[in-house]
Amino acid sequence: MGKYDNDVKRLLDLIGGKGNIQAVSHCMTRMRFVLVDPKKADEKAIEDLPSVKGTFTQAGQYQVIIGNDVSTFYNEFTSYAGIEGVSKDAVKAAAKTNQNPIQKIMGTLGEIFAPLIPALICGGLVLGFRNIIGEINFFNNGTESLADVYQFWNGMYNFLWLIGEAVFHLLPVGIVWSITKKMGTTQILGIVLGLTLVSSQLLNGFSVADTPADQIPYWDFGFAKVEMIGYQGQVIAAMMAGFVLVYLEKFFKKICPEVVSMIVVPFCSLVPAVIIAHTIVGPIGWTIGNAIGDVVYAGLTSDFRFLFAAVFGLLYAPLVMTGLHHMTNAIDTQLINTADSTILWPMIALSNIAQGSSVLAMSFLQKKNERAQQVNVPACISCYLGVTEPALFGVNLKYGFPLVCGMIGSCCAAMISVGFGVEALSIGVGGLPGILSIKPEFWLYFLLAMAVAIVIPFILTTIVGRIKLTKEDRFGREAAPAADTASETTAAVEAKTDDAAPAADVKELKSILDGKVMPIEEAPDDVFSQKIMGDGLAIEPSNTVVTAPADCDVSIVMADTGHACGLTLPNGLELLIHVGVDTVDMGGDGFKLLVHEGDHVKAGQPLIEFDPAKIKAAGHPCTTMLIVTGEGSAANIKMHSGMDAKAGETTVISWD
């Protein structure tokens, strides 16, 4: 009889049976399924299984979080189900077959914009700060701003435009680079193509509308003239140019002999791509982008703007769950390009706030449910800061009614925002900090809309939650089982032999890497940031070798991928080390596992060696997680973050 015999049998039934499984694999913490019909999976019943810590769907994969013992669970599951496990790449390929063409397009669009989001957020904050110091007239009876009165702030106002221009005017460079990165072609060629779209030799794209047609410069080829127009801030034109480059490079790589490919492929890809970009796809993309921007702007300023706002505010959260919301990034950027501001982005920020307020209400209702709070609190914080996926998938969609209550609040707030014509000067800063991107003259109206986005979802969710939530949802599972578990743990601790006594002297863990130590809530992975696997830390590494944080045993390794391992200290403390996010997809490329399961290691002994360049090239963060998955006999465990650590020297976790 297997260790997880009952849970394995139940999971197979609850997931829809063997016939509903198209492919299955696992990583360090999760079972990864591709289901024929995802609707057949009974999510609530699956999450109630003792060995399951949570579930979520991502990129067509239904993922069941098990924890450190996932390999044992996986082996028992595939053996009982009579299913042959497949590689992670095969699971990803199978997952794509579950997506319709729209989902595939939106997925690709999302993967193109995802690497750009940090820059957009930073640029949005910079422009928001410029608003405060240069656009709001605080002084001399409301006639002068901080930048007008003080030379330092005037210099700062002008200096910060260096960043704002780089982010928003030169955005095509980032877009074309991201496309080449996503499609696996030469990224430097993408950067060069992007630079040709925003070259200083060209008429700035933002100046085209104000320049008479006879004053627009052009290249004269004798038989044809091509206008020298830049594509600053243009999204669709840049995307079209990027895909032209990608498919040209793939074509020439396919037909070109290897011996001359280094010379022929870059030249035959880049030069035609630049020509096509400025003569064909650039003007077409410009026209399409302007048309989309004009239609949306007309809708937001027409007599039907309240209806438009109501629909958008109501449906934006569901759009996020489908991935379709990525299209709004292109539309917002286009609006800023054509109208110097966007009415769309304020509604997005308000939707973030509304969904966060629903989670806040759930946190209030479930304040005595410790397990629920581990998800609610970080999800609420991230939502209020503009990242809604943890709240949507981890809380609101799970219960249903908080999602609807948030949608209603977002709808009301959006109508107020559009009704008063609230405009944003930039995008990227969502949630509560979104006010920094709003034009100062609209701050009071936006604050009113924010208040509605906070109050309505909170009140509605609280009222409905008191009716719909069960006692178990409100207060967690009955205390009796927990007490039994606690008794067993106590008994196990008391039964420890004298051989384990020296472990009592170990009261701390040293850093496993050189680098910046961050709270686990900042980890770029919801499973870790929501503490589903346990509390811990995230480290942005500055070296390439993971070392043991203390004398311990290697309890589990990912031998085929080398990206993670589990450790157990003599006092029973269990740890999980996970290098990067979604690095299981790399299949071991870039990782070298230096230990084996069952090894006893000393503090500072190398465990995993990794190649940051390969991880980044594969599109994954290098952020490494150190998670406490089992506390053993340790008490009052404290996490130490917010500093630069030295592997083997800096204390990052301690306990009594």
Q: Which of 103-107, 203-207, 506-510, 617-621 has the lowest mean pLDDT?
A: 103-107
Summarize pLDDT for 349-389 with one digit per residue, the tens. 899 899 999 999 999 999 888 877 877 888 788 788 877 76
Structure tokens at 223: 């038989």
- Has residue 488 been placed in a domain? no
Summarize pLDDT for 558-608 with one digit per residue, the tens. 877 889 999 999 888 889 999 998 888 787 888 999 999 889 999 999 999
Residues 534 and 582 in one domain: yes
The answer to whether 210 and 204 have CB atoms below 8 angstroms apart is: no
Strand order in the sheet with 638-639: 508-510, 651-654, 638-639
* pLDDT higher than 70, residue 484: no
The label of the residue with tokens 């292109």 reads 330
Structure tokens at 624: 């490494």
How many domains are there within the chain? Answer: 4
Summarize pLDDT for 14-28 with one digit per residue, the tens. 999 988 888 888 877
pLDDT of residue 99: 60
**CATH number reported for the structural domain that contains residue 544 in this entry:** 2.70.70.10
Closest CA to 595 of 628, 557, 543: 557
Comparing 322 with 560, the larger pLDDT belongs to 560
Q: Which of 217-231, 246-260, 295-309 has the lowest mean pLDDT?
A: 295-309
Residues 646 and 511 in one domain: yes
Residues 251 and 145 in one domain: yes
pLDDT of residue 483: 39
What is the pTM for the complete model shown?
A: 0.54
User: What distance in Å separates the CA atoms of residue 296 and residue 328, rounded to the nearest whole number?
Assistant: 10
Residues 36 and 163 in one domain: no
pLDDT of residue 493: 42
- Has residue 228 been placed in a domain? yes
What is the chain's mean pLDDT, rounded?
Answer: 83
Residues 326 and 277 in one domain: no
**Which residues are identified as catalytic?**
27
The answer to whether 85 and 24 have CB atoms below 8 angstroms apart is: yes
Residues 435 and 313 in one domain: yes
Residues 134 and 274 in one domain: yes
Summarize pLDDT for 620-640 with one digit per residue, the tens. 889 999 999 887 778 888 999
pLDDT of residue 334: 67
Comparing 6 with 152, the larger pLDDT belongs to 152
- Has residue 487 been placed in a domain? no
pLDDT of residue 1: 57
Band the pLDDT of 478: cuts 50, 70, 90. very low
Of the residues 98, 119, 154, the one at which a domain ends: 98
- Has residue 138 been placed in a domain? yes
Band the pLDDT of 494: cuts 50, 70, 90. very low
Of the residues 70, 98, 126, the one at which a domain ends: 98
Summarize pLDDT for 167-214 with one digit per residue, the tens. 878 889 999 999 998 888 999 999 999 999 999 999 988 788 778 888
Residues 228 and 331 in one domain: no
Structure tokens at 217: 């410069």
Q: What is the full DSSP assignment across 238-253? A: HHHHHHHHHHHHHHHH
- Has residue 555 been placed in a domain? yes
Residues 171 and 247 in one domain: yes
Residues of the domain holding 154 = 110-289
Comparing 98 with 471, the larger pLDDT belongs to 471
Residues 21-42 have a mean pLDDT of: 83
CA 533, chain centre distance (Å): 18
Residues 333 and 372 in one domain: yes
Closest CA to 559 of 518, 599, 614, 612: 599
CA 134, chain centre distance (Å): 32
Residues 527 and 427 in one domain: no
* pLDDT higher than 60, residue 95: no
- Has residue 168 been placed in a domain? yes
The answer to whether 316 and 408 have CB atoms below 8 angstroms apart is: no
User: What distance in Å separates the CA atoms of residue 195 and residue 241, rounded to the nearest whole number?
Assistant: 12
Closest CA to 343 of 412, 409, 296, 406: 296
C-alpha distances in angstroms, 431 versus 102, 377, 390, 427, 457?
27, 15, 14, 11, 14
- Has residue 294 been placed in a domain? no
Band the pLDDT of 104: cuts 50, 70, 90. low
Band the pLDDT of 481: cuts 50, 70, 90. very low
Residues 97-116 have a mean pLDDT of: 65
Beta-strand (E) ranges in 453-573?
A: 508-510, 515-519, 536-541, 545-547, 552-557, 564-568
Band the pLDDT of 432: cuts 50, 70, 90. confident
The answer to whether 246 and 180 have CB atoms below 8 angstroms apart is: yes
- Has residue 478 been placed in a domain? no
Of the residues 439, 456, 473, the one at which a domain ends: 473
Element (H, E) at 574: strand 574-579
Residues 146 and 207 in one domain: yes
